[in-house]
Structure 1
Amino acid sequence: MKKIVSIFIVLITMSFQAQSKKWTLIECVEYALENNISVKQSELDIEVADIDRLTAMGNFMPSLNAGTGVSENTGLSFNPVTNNAQTTTFLSASGNINVGYTLFDGLRNVRTLQRAKISILASQYRLDKMKDDISLFVANGYLQVILNKANLKVLKSQNEVTLEQIERTEQLVEAGSIPRGDLLEIHATDASEKQSIINAENNITISLISLAQLLLIKDYENFDIEDEGYDIVDSSIADKDISEILAKSKETRSEIKIAEQNVSIAEKDFQIAKGANLPTLSAFFGYNTRYTNTTSFTQIIDPNNPTVTQQIGVVEGTGQSVVSQFPNTIVQEVGADSFIDQLSQNDGIGYGLNLNIPIFNGFATKGNIKRSKVNLMRSKFQLEQAELDLESTVYQAYVDAKGSFKSYEAALSSLESQQLAYEYAKERYDVGLTNAFDFSQSKLRHDNAKIQVNQAKYDYIFKLKVLELYFGIPATELKF
């Protein structure tokens, strides 16, 4: 009984720990990379490319085929062994083995294998890009949850100040120091703040659900994240020269590597198409044999009368007959040889070379060559476009990071000013030198300044991480 109770307690504890687990950003990114459907599809693309490589390797190996057949014939049929027509019922069987090997095919097999290897590399780069994109999506969703939680803390903290002011204002109203309208004004502020708190809590719930859906986690109610310890860790990337970041991105970013591999694939396709103009030389070897259970007929010497005398001519002038003795043969039915004996008696071997020289096929080869050449040119243009797009994107990320840092500094400066203004308004309100409306307006500006600092901070963190990705830092190694 004690053992059962202990197990029950352990299960309850594990369940509680699972429900109270708070996910870190690294855990979210790693979980998304393992479970995201788009990532899994990209991994399947690599498997398909590897299958193509295996198929291309198989083109260098000889082909081996074996066949056999069994049939029963009734009536007039040709004996497959004697090739004589006979009316009977017999069973026949045949078997063959054929080997073929391509000696030369215009190097198309070589180019196909090279293309398959390049395709695997391109699929891997597409997977890397997909992982970077998913990591950014997760990081953006994660930081959105943190921002919403930070805003909620600001609203709750300021509402606590408002509740304290209500209590103090009630005392001043009862003492007749200030009019009751000031108390009503602060109550209205409290109601507005509570509404903002409810909206902030809803925003947290919605952002958590969005993040959980991105991670394919269905337990929305128990899903939560670790919202402590995320700050601007290192801003040295933003201090680098844009040319250095751009050069690094061209070396490491998957967009350029994918476009480069696509050019290489198009070049191989062009070479494969041109190879169709060259002759194809192949070798073959074949072995076949046959069996039948039908009887046959043969002529043998009559043991009872081995010879027979027959006239072969006459002597000219005398008319005397000329005779001679001949073997006296009779027809005898012979049974079928054994299966094993017939396999060796009836076998045959064939081997040789096949040379196929393309001369004219309705411009099909010429059209394929031109089409592959156009695709090669298109892929080169796409590489140039990818380089231009990457340059534009890196410049935009650099400008965004610089701009968001300035916005963050401006928000901090504004908060500092609003903090001083709020403290001054509070002091004046406490001694009755200002009314509740003016004080609530000052407090509202102070609250908004804190929220704007949160927004500017996490916006800068995210854009800084985007810039770090373009500098070649892997998504799983980003520090927050």
Structure 2
Amino acid sequence: MKKILIIALLLTLGVRMAVAQKQWSLEDCVSYAIEHNLPLKRQDVLVAIKNLDQEMAHRERLPAVGSYFNGYSTFGHSQDVFGTIRRNDNFNSNMGINAEMTLYQFNYLRNQAKKATVEAEQEQLEKEVLKRDLTLKIVQGYLQVLLTQALVDAQDSAINFSVQLLDKAEKSTAIGATAPAVVFEAKANLAREKQQYQQYHKETQQAKLTLAQHMNYADYSALRVYDPLLESEIFKTGIRGTKSDLIQEAIRHNPILNKYENQLIGLDIESKLFKAADYPMVKGSASLGTTYFNAFKTANERPFFGQSKDNFAQQIAIAVTIPVFNKGRTKRQLQQVNLRKQEIGLLSENEKIQQIQILEKLQLDWKESKQQYEISTEAFSATKESLVYSRRSFMAGKVSIYDINNSKNNLIKSEAEMIRARYNTLFSLLMLHYHVSGDIKFSY
């Protein structure tokens, strides 16, 4: 029994460690966020509701069938047309089946079914809008975590370098080769590096917390963000096509614009439904039934089933309702539809303008960030080489610790600028690709 408990405990710990050590790619984060996002789950419920509305609307064209049974008794006196007063005790009943359906109403039922289909599509498009907004937040939060993690790693290297300088200064001061002020300067510089490290570490934890909240992930501290292929895939992939082609692709994949187009289709159908109120409505009905009557004291009263069989009858009826005057309601409803079409047209045009502006900004940011990244990479390489020579000179006692600290600070600043430029380029290119293709995957 103890062995079983120990094995179960080890398996549980192993699973927890595996979960805690999982490395999350960008695709993993987006998939998890979409799966656990409550507004998206609510939208799934709304889609299911609209699908049921659609089914009911299609079934409205079928005849409505019902059955009925009525029974009642009358007790007391009554006077006939000749003035004779007599007892009028009796029992009446009728039962049967009837069916009714609309034969014509300017295709009202068909258009009602089409409207239900459009509304179901509308809820699905609304879900796509929510997914798009959520994906943008995840991408931004994910790259922010990668950026702050890179800054932490760079600052950790700077701390190791400062520790080595402090060790060299302490040894030189111990043998009297350098003044004690050199040690204090090295300690002060190390403290500043640790302070900057803590600031970057704080920003990393805040970025993880923001990303975990967007993902609806419980333990942000266990979120290990790492995607080694992301950077190489983005940088080796270019955005092909002319500006007009990119705009057309972005418009085609924009769920907001697709939603507006779907709304216009729904308004066209709605206008047909309103027009149906000005057309005659023809309904047909059919019934099968029987009646029974019993005057109680009448001699030789026939039995229930026998009389019901003889009284069996069928009926077919057609009812026509012709509209005459509805106080101008239809005319004003159609005017409202036209105004709503104008509103959606303006919203759609505004969304297209915003989409073009976003693409232009992303293209500009991508090109400028890419140039800045190339320049900062060259500057970092040159500064790194300069620090190598400064360190050798410091070890040989030819330069002071102030000189090497100045070179090191320049390197740290240069590396931070290079890292920020790299992730600005990544973000701009990834966002540009997502807006154009509607996908975060690079599959060229």
| TM-score > 0.5, shorter chain as reference | yes
Partner secondary structure for residue 341 of structure 1: helix
Q: What corresponds to 2:132 in structure 1?
A: 132
* 1:400 maps to 2:365: yes
Other structure's SS at 1:412 match: helix
CA separation of 1:366/1:77 partners in 2, compared to 1, >3 Å: closer, same or farther?
A: farther
Please say if 1:383 is aligned against 2:384. Answer: no
Closer/same/farther in 2, CA of residues 119 and 175 from structure 1, 3 Å limit: same
Conservation of the 8 A alpha-carbon contact between 2:289 and 2:313: yes
Paired residue for 2:416, among 446, 451, 456? 451
What does residue range 102-141 of structure 1 map to in structure 2 within 5 Å? 102-141=102-141
Aligned to 2:280: 279
Whether the aligned pair in 2 keeps the contact of 1:404 and 1:459 (CA below 8 Å) is yes
Which whole-Å deviations, capped at 9, do the CAs of 1:1-32 have from their partners, x for residues lacking one?
A: 44554444333322332333232222221111
Opposite residue 460 of structure 1, the aligned amino acid is T
Measured after TM superposition, the shift of residue 63 of structure 1 is 1.5
Is it true that 1:259 corresponds to 2:224 in the alignment?
Answer: no
Deviation at 1:71, TM superposition (A): 4.6
1:411 Cα deviation from its structure 2 partner: 2.3
Instruction: Give the residue type in structure 2 aligned to 1:62.
Output: P
Query: What are the superposed Cα offsets for residues 255-302 of structure 1, whole Å, 9 maximum, x if unpaired?
Result: 3322221221122222222222221111112334344665142xxxxx
Deviation at 1:43, TM superposition (A): 2.4
The code of the aligned residue for 1:156 comes to: D
Matching residue of 1:33 = 34
Distance apart, 1:230 and its partner CA: 3.7
How far residue 373 of structure 1 moved from its aligned partner, in angstroms, is 2.0
Gaps of 5+ in 1: 79-83, 298-332
The answer for the alignment partner of 2:11 in structure 1 is 10
Equivalent in the alignment of 2:58: 57
Q: Aligned partners of 2:213, 2:234: CA distance in 1, in Å?
A: 30
Bigger radius of gyration among the two = 1
Cα distance in structure 2, aligned partners of 1:294 and 1:246? 85
What residue number does 1:435 align with?
400
> Which residue does 1:225 correspond to in 2?
225
Partner SS, residue 61 of structure 1: coil
**2:144 paired residue number:** 144
Alpha-carbon distance in 2 for matches of 1:76, 1:436: 126
Name whichever structure is richer in strand by fraction. 1
Q: Distance in 2 between matches of 1:13 and 1:261?
A: 50
Query: For the Cα contact (< 8 Å) 2:234–2:426, is it kept in 1?
Result: no
Deviations 1:232-271, CA, capped at 9 Å, x for gaps: 4244434643222112223333233222212211222222
Q: Which residue of 2 aligns with 1:306?
A: none
2-structure distance, mates of 1:422, 1:262 = 63
Residue 467 of structure 1 deviates from its aligned partner by: 1.0
1:98 and 1:284 in contact (8 A); partners too? yes
Query: Match for residue 370 of structure 1?
Result: 335
- Residue 324 of structure 1 corresponds to which residue in structure 2? none
Partners of 2:77 and 2:365 in 1: CA distance: 92
Task: Please tell me the residue identity of whatever aligns with 1:419.
Answer: K
Asked whether the equivalents of residues 237 and 467 of structure 1 are also in contact (C-alpha less than 8 Å), the reply is no
User: For 1:71 and 1:217, how far apart are their aligned partners in 2?
Assistant: 67
Aligned-partner residue type, residue 58 of structure 1: R
Match of 1:357 in 2: 322
SS in 1 for 2:326: coil
Q: How far 1:91 sits from its partner (Å)?
A: 5.9
Matched residues, percent identical? 19
Which residue of structure 2 aligns with residue 45 of structure 1? 46
Task: Give the letter for the 1:430 counterpart.
Answer: M
CA distance in 1, matches of 2:313, 2:87: 24
Structure having the higher helix fraction is 2
Local SS of the residue matching 1:159: helix
Q: Alpha-carbon deviations, 1:335-369, whole Å to 9, x = none?
A: 5x433234324444332111111111111122112
1:411 aligns with 2:376: yes
Does the CA contact (< 8 Å) of 1:249 and 1:471 recur in 2?
A: yes
Q: Report the AA paired with residue 16 of structure 1.
A: M
Paired letter, 2:425: Y
- How many Å apart are 1:108 and its aligned residue? 2.1
Q: Tell me the equivalent position of 1:168.
A: 168
Q: Distance in 2 between matches of 1:42 and 1:85?
A: 70
Q: Is the 8 A contact 2:22 2:224 kept in 1?
A: yes
Q: What is the CA distance between 1:150 and its match in structure 2?
A: 1.2
- 1:239, 1:54 → 2: CA distance? 44
Q: Is the 8 A contact 1:400 1:463 kept in 2?
A: yes
CA distance in 1, matches of 2:77, 2:6: 88
Please tell me whether the aligned partners of residues 77 and 85 of structure 1 are also in contact (alpha carbons under 8 angstroms). Answer: yes
How far apart, in 1, do the equivalents of 2:319 and 2:281 lie? 8
- Kindly report the root-mean-square deviation, in angstroms, between the aligned alpha carbons of the 2 structures: 2.8
Question: How much does 1:161 deviate?
Answer: 0.7
* Structure 1 residue 75: Cα displacement: 4.3
How many residue pairs align between the two structures? 437
Q: Could you tell me how far 1:184 is from its partner in structure 2? A: 0.9
Question: If the length of structure 1 is used for normalisation, what is the TM-score?
Answer: 0.82
Superposed CA deviations along residues 388-446 of structure 1, whole A, max 9, x for unmatched, are: 22222222222222222223223213322332343343334333344333432331221
The structural deviation recorded for 1:169 is 0.8
Shift of 1:228: 4.0
Deviates more, 1:195-204 or 1:120-129: 120-129
Could you say which residue in structure 1 is the equivalent of 2:206? 206
Distance 2:443 2:348 in 1: 31
Deviation at 1:211, TM superposition (A): 1.8
Contact 2:394 2:400 in 1 (8 A): yes
Q: Secondary structure at the match of 1:276?
A: helix
Instruction: Give me the whole-angstrom Cα distance separating, in 1, the residues matched to 2:179 and 2:87.
Output: 130
Q: Distance in 1 between matches of 2:6 and 2:334?
A: 77
Deviates more, 1:116-125 or 1:153-162: 116-125
Q: Distance in 2 between matches of 1:241 and 1:469?
A: 16
Which position in structure 2 is the counterpart of 1:270? 271
- Contact 1:96-1:286 within 8 A present in 2 as well: yes
State yes or no: 1:247 paired with 2:248.
yes
The 1:349/1:86 distance shift into structure 2, 3 A limit, reads farther
CA contact (8 A) 2:36 2:215 kept: yes
How far has the Cα of 1:154 moved from its partner? 0.7
Separation (CA, whole Å) in 2 of partners of 1:188 and 1:140: 36
- Distance in 2 (CA, whole Å) between partners of 1:86 and 1:207 is 93
* Equivalent position SS for 2:23: coil
**Cα gap change, 1:201 to 1:152, in 2 (>3 Å):** same
Moved more, 13-22 or 286-295: 286-295
Distance 1:147 1:110, change over 3 A: same
SS in 1 for 2:196: helix
